[in-house]
Amino acid sequence: MFTIEHEFDATLITLIDEGAAPLAEDVIVEAYEDCVVLEQLDPESDQPIRITLSLRQVDDLAAALNLPEGIYRRK
């Protein structure tokens, strides 16, 4: 399950884990004009962990999801 919200400067997507336990913490995806930020609560420290990806990294990730094992460079 997921939700989508449009803010002034970003689109927020929340990925909610469903199904049998154990469940992972929700993942919040903040899509900005120049980057994408992933955030997930660390259940041990109760602090959010944030990862910032450039748009190029997001494109590479999307491509990698459909490729077999190997090393690739996109042109």
pLDDT at 73 (0 to 100): 86
Query: Is residue 31, in this structure, part of any structural domain at all?
Result: yes
Query: Is residue 52, in this structure, part of any structural domain at all?
Result: yes
Query: Is residue 75, in this structure, part of any structural domain at all?
Result: no
pLDDT at 41 (0 to 100): 97
In the numeric block, which tokens belong to residue 36?
């994408």
Give residue 48's domain range: 2-64
Task: Tell me what the mean pLDDT of segment 4-10 comes to.
Answer: 94
Indicate the DSSP class of residue 65.
Answer: T
In the numeric block, which tokens belong to residue 50?
């944030």
What's the domain count of the chain? 1
Query: Is residue 69, in this structure, part of any structural domain at all?
Result: no
Tens of pLDDT, residue by residue over 16-75, are: 999 888 899 999 999 999 999 999 999 999 999 999 999 999 999 999 988 899 999 887
Dist CA 9 CA 35 (whole Å)? 11
pLDDT at 51 (0 to 100): 98
pTM for the whole structure: 0.85
* Secondary structure (DSSP) of 17-56: --SSSSPPPPEEEEE-SSEEEEEEEETTTTEEEEEEEEHH
